[in-house]
A and B are shown apart, each in its own frame.
Chain A
Amino acid sequence: MTGFFTDSTLCIGCKACEVACKEWNDVPEDGLKFSGNSYDNTIALGHSTWRHVKFVEHEATIGAGGNAPRLMTWQFSSDVCKHCENAGCLESCPTGSIVRTEFGGVYVQPDICNGCGYCVVNCPFGVIDRRPTDGRAFKCTFCYDRQRAGEQPACAKACPTQSILFGDLEELQLVADARIAKLHANGMTDAKIYNPTDSSVGGVHAFFLVRGDAREYNLPANPVVPTVYLRDAWGAAAAGAAAIAAGALVVFALGGKKRMKNAERRT
């Protein structure tokens, strides 16, 4: 099983990953506007953005870019589809278009997707979306075609600082642990791994190293795979159905008797 380890302490915010991804996968242009949010004009992952470099500005912090105490510090992190262990998009897809590949990634089969949009509301990370000009849902493919050819994904290949590492998932986790230990030893104690193994998502195949609060990088503290709501939901549906049936039975049974009595009275 392969994975991504994206280390934001190595990222320089060059966006080569964004460009490489779009070039390799022929992803269309999806907006050319200035957001005003630091140098992030990509804004979010979506149907036509499968790598998104985030720019987080802070007060001056030791070792976090910006050498002068008066200047703000800058952290960069390249976001991507998390390829969840328990993926909301995969579970909810009614056509069976979204599947798990042999590499462990979550993949939308573009020849099957009919654009129902249900995956869009089932991703706790807000990754997948329907492309209006096409009709189908799109997200990071984990460069399935490249992996099958024995290559690494385009973003990992293009990354100049090896902030994006690709490889065997378990090996990457060892690399990440070693990196965290080294950073903590160097005094960067706010560095942490973001891999929500304790949540219902059950861990992700694309995990991150970030500094400080992961929510500043739009990474939710407790992502939930929406299948956890199914039991309560269907239970309520059963209760509702029972109430409709019971209610109708009662009023028609009683109403019927009244009608019979009225009919008898008239004759």
Chain B
Amino acid sequence: MSTYYDLPLLKPPVWTWEVPTYFFVGGAAGAAAALGAIAQVTGADQTLVRDARWIAAAGATLSAPLLVADLGRPERFLNMLRVFKLQSPMSVGAWTLTAFGSASSAAAFAELVQRRTNLPVRVVGDASAVVAAATGLVMATYTGVLLGATAIPVWNENVRLLPVHFGASALGSAVSLLELRGHRDRALNALGLGTAIFETLVAASLDAGDDRVNAPLTRGRSGTLVRLAGALSGPVPLALRLFGARKAAAIATLAGSLATRFAWVEAGKASARDPRVAL
């Protein structure tokens, strides 16, 4: 096939470490908010709900500075809220983060105020928690949309996988953070097992791909990172959970979740460099 001196056609992503780190932090925070609200509705123990709300709020608080730092003109970060464009996943994400940040902070603070004072803020807290949960579900999955709906071949080739993959990864992270806080609910273990099984299947399916588009997932630096992330997200915590080592499984899941986001950004960079796929 003819190319132009085998020079790349596409431009690689310009993002640095802050962006995949945000995918991890924001995803975990969003999933935690969803988990907390569902746990509250089903009558789980109150400390679990409280911790989930604080994980969500903390993650939201960390997310904004991470994203602002990656901007080429950080002082113009508010321009993200100039318009709302449904056809831009980044616009949807910016507004979602804004809503999620407000709602999750309100939910966490309301819970604190309610616990320490007699002020009747429970309804405010619960309503905020519902909003945080709804926007949290978007937070956990939209970053997959952000990558999938682009010109980068390895990303758009996997457009249907990425939102679900990142969502499962986010759920695993939220579960792990709660377990590291000391919670040992069977429900958490079940979710941890479920996400580990899912991530194992994803890792196996990515490894089996042998077409040129998906080569960055199995070859080179990005391929190594994808495999490492897949192992830490899937088989390793799965085995650890089956042996009852929940804390170790939680740590592995968190490492794997962070590594997954970095792996896919690296894969995107490698994919942009291959002219034969893009042409």
Contact = CB atoms under 8 A, between A and B. Distances in A.
Interface of A: 35, 37, 40, 43-44, 46, 54, 56, 88, 91-97, 112-118, 120-131, 134-137, 213, 215-218, 220-221, 224, 226-227, 229-230, 232-237, 239-241, 243-245, 247-249, 251-256, 258-259
Contact of B151 (A113, A224, A230, A258): A224
Interface string B223-256: 0000000000000000000000000000000000
A247 B191 contact: yes
Contacts, number: 254
14 contacts: A40-B5, A94-B80, A94-B93, A112-B79, A121-B272, A136-B72, A218-B9, A230-B89, A234-B145, A236-B159, A236-B162, A239-B164, A240-B144, A252-B44
Q: What class of interface size applies to chain B in its complex with A?
A: 35 or more
B115 to A, nearest CB: 22
Interface of B: 1-5, 7-15, 31, 34-35, 38-39, 41-45, 70-74, 76-77, 79-80, 82-83, 85, 87-91, 93-94, 137-138, 140-142, 144-146, 148-152, 155-156, 159-164, 166-168, 170-171, 185-188, 190-191, 194, 268, 272, 275, 278-279
Given A123-B151, A237-B138, A113 B144 contact: no
A92 B88 contact: yes
A120 B73 contact: no
A200 to B, nearest CB: 11
Given A123-B11, A227-B149, A240-B141, A116 B88 contact: no
A126 B149 contact: no
Nearest to A79: B4
B191 A251 contact: yes
Contacts of A252: 38-39, 42, 44, 187
Given A95-B82, A96-B83, A248-B38, A215 B279 contact: yes
